Amino acid sequence: MTAALLEDAVALAKEAAPRAILGLTGPPAAGKSTLATHLVDEVNRRLGPDTAAYLPMDGFHLSNLQLQRMGRQNRKGAPDTFDVHGYVALLHRVTGVVEHDIYVPSYDRTLHEPIAARLVVAPETKLVITEGNYLASDESVWREVRKFLRALWYIETADEVRESRLAERQITGGRNHDEAWAWVESNDRPNGEVVKKTRDNCTRVVVPGTITPAP
């Protein structure tokens, strides 16, 4: 499966003018970031450095300060806890002809905060791979995302596997076992149910198989 996905990603990079955006979506901890970074690395190995670049939706998490201001810190990861306007604006920028580096934010799971300008889309980049929970959403501004995507793949992983990964993620981040599972049940699980309803908006369904998500 991974080889076939890589061939399709390489084909997108080769045909892109000026560049194409491939979207990966699916519920939390489905393996989106692992697949995205794997494809970026392999496309660059095959076609040359900076041919592909990574643009994670999670870089547009609102800061903890803003979530506290909004009273939404206990629902971090829900659709309204992202700067979707900023995300859409950046997708629009990278689809055009640009003669300078475009800087891209990412999310730090140690700091639990977005970090500005951690990644970059170079002028010579032909394929940008973006991933996140809500790329297929029909909600408000989120539905604008699909305008910029050449293809949108849904990553499907069993709920029990995802939730085990999510709990481990919370434990790694400092919560104890009970706190981790309370967070999964009250926050990650509802977010995942929202995402699963968007599956039919995608152009392909991918079952990762043996792909192991990064911690």
Spell out the domain ranges in the chain: 2-206
Considering the four listed CATH numbers 3.40.50.300, 2.30.31.20, 3.40.50.970, 3.40.50.2300, the one that applies to the domain covering 2-206 is 3.40.50.300
Q: Identify whether the C-beta of residue 44 lies closer than 8 Å to the C-beta of residue 50.
A: yes
Q: Which pair of tokens denotes residue 129? A: 């791979």
Give the long-range contacts of residues 201-205, CB within 8 A, separation 24 or more: 201/136, 201/137, 201/138, 201/146, 201/152, 202/25, 202/136, 202/152, 202/153, 202/154, 203/151, 203/152, 203/153, 204/151, 204/152, 204/153, 204/154, 205/153, 205/154, 205/156
Residue 1: predicted pLDDT: 52
Residue 211: predicted pLDDT: 47
Residue 215: predicted pLDDT: 39
Three-class DSSP category at 65:
helix
d(CA 36, CA 22): 9
Q: Which residues of the chain have pLDDT under 70?
A: 1, 209-215
d(CA 176, CA 178): 6
Residue 208: predicted pLDDT: 78
Residue 2: predicted pLDDT: 76
205 closest CA partner among 161, 159, 157, 165: 157
Q: Identify whether the C-beta of residue 106 lies closer than 8 Å to the C-beta of residue 56.
A: yes
